[in-house]
Amino acid sequence: MNELLDLNDEVRDALGRGAPIVALESTIISHGMPYPRNAETALRVETVVRDAGAVPATIAIIDGRLKAGLSPEQIKLLGERGQAVAKVSRRDVARIVAAGADGATTVSATMLIAAMAGIRVFATGGIGGVHRGAERTMDISADLEELGRTDVAVVCAGAKSILDIPRTLEYLETKGVPVVVYRGDEFPAFYTSSSGLRAELRMDSVDEIAAMLAAKWRLGLAGGAVIANPIPAEFEMPVDTINAAINTALREAEAAGVRGKDVTPFLLARVKDLTGGDSLESNVALVMNNAKLAAELASALVRV
């Protein structure tokens, strides 16, 4: 256990008992939604995890300390401060710790801290990936590198549909990262359950997924896995509607010169506005769905 890492009492007790634990990111709180919806959603996600039989561990950096497990007050603080809280990827962790500052962790930083704490399952909305036009910009999310090196399974609704999904899947294959589609024949595209890309590996039970993960890590095969959980049909966005919004948002981002880590929050915010808020409702629904599956998977891993 790293000396700069703090566990709250609930997480510490769960680790001691060998109980199932699900890591949760904090960027979705400070950068993903407006206040108070962001804090309310984060607390609801924790409730979903508990109701499904696991312990939630929302991860962030507070006053320069790595945190696995936040109090409701800390979650509210991140929500209230919003984008004033630093968005922290792996490269930013040391800087935020050294400054004694607060940071909301992205997928890559959440995986890093979860692994330090001994947590193997993480629920999020969607992973980052290869951005459209990456052959010119080299804009590739650190999430993919983290998945190639850190032993944490990430339950998500696929890759965000603002990305170049075919190249994202190719990158994951190159890194040796298993991509499992849960009860689906196509890789999901965040707001929609299908992307037009066939699932290379479909699994229909959490026990099957847990057995694969246990075998992977027993073999010493470093790195995580993507467990792609399609958004429930009743919360899907119409394909034409979401694609039109994404294309408009991409043109606006290019015209405004938006680059690097600012691209994803810019695009998601514009897509929300362009869809009249419908994309936000889909986002919340898929996060809840992923939290439930992650709790079931964490329990299955304990059984294995």
- For residue range 262-295, list pLDDT tens digits in order: 887 788 788 888 888 788 889 999 999 999 999 9
Q: What is the pLDDT of residue 239?
A: 87
Q: What is the pLDDT of residues 202-253, one digit of tens each?
A: 999 999 999 999 999 999 999 999 999 999 999 999 888 988 988 898 899 8
Q: What is the pLDDT of residue 89?
A: 97
Minimum mean pLDDT range among 14-28, 65-79, 128-142: 128-142
Q: What is the pLDDT of residue 263?
A: 80
pLDDT at residue 261 above 80? no
Q: What is the largest CA-CA distance in the chain?
A: 53
Name the pLDDT band for 115 (thresholds 50, 70, 90): very high
For 172, phi and psi rounded to 5 degrees?
-65, -40
Residue of 25, 46, 146, 186 marked active site: 25
Short-list 35, 91, 86, 95, CA closest to 60? 86
pLDDT at residue 142 above 70? yes
DSSP assignment of the chain = --TTEEE-HHHHHHHHHT--EEEE-SHHHHTSS-TTHHHHHHHHHHHHHHHTT-EEEEEEEETTEEEES--HHHHHHHHHHGGGSEEE-GGGHHHHHHHT--EEE-HHHHHHHHHHHT--EEE-S-B--BBTTHHHH--B-HHHHHHHHS--EEEESBB-TTB-HHHHHHHHHHTT--EEEET-SB--BTTBS--S-B-SSEE--HHHHHHHHHHHHHTT--S-EEEE-PPPGGGPPPHHHHHHHHHHHHHHHHHHT--GGGHHHHHHHHHHHHTTTHHHHHHHHHHHHHHHHHHHHHHHHHH-
In the residue annotation, 160 being an active-site residue is answered as yes
In single-letter form, the type of residue at position 293 comes to: L
Q: Domain count for the chain, please give it.
A: 1
Q: What is the pLDDT of residue 301?
A: 98
Q: What is the pLDDT of residue 1?
A: 67
For 171, phi and psi rounded to 5 degrees?
-65, -45
| Three-state DSSP string of 145-196 | HHHHHCCCEEEECEECCCECHHHHHHHHHHCCCCEEEECCCECCECCECCCC
Tell me the CB-side half-sphere exposure of residue 279, using CA atoms within 13 A.
Answer: 27
Give dist(CA 177, CA 205) in Å, integer.
19
Q: With pLDDT > 90 as the criterion, what percentage of the chain qualifies?
A: 80
In the residue annotation, 261 being an active-site residue is answered as no
Q: What is the pLDDT of residue 250?
A: 84
pLDDT at residue 99 above 90? yes
Give dist(CA 97, CA 88) in Å, integer.
11
For residue 13, the domain's CATH number is 3.40.1790.10
pLDDT at residue 144 above 70? yes
pLDDT at residue 260 above 80? no
Q: What is the pLDDT of residue 33?
A: 86
279 touches 272 (CB < 8 A): yes
Give dist(CA 104, CA 84) in Å, integer.
10
Highest mean pLDDT among 48-52, 244-248, 254-258, 263-267: 48-52
Does residue 36 have a cis bond before it (omega within 30 degrees)?
A: yes
Q: What is the pLDDT of residue 26?
A: 98
Range of the domain at 264: 5-303
Overall average pLDDT of the 88-114 stretch: 98
Give dist(CA 260, CA 238) in Å, integer.
28
Residue of 67, 87, 160, 272 marked active site: 160
Short-list 225, 21, 201, 216, CA closest to 114? 21
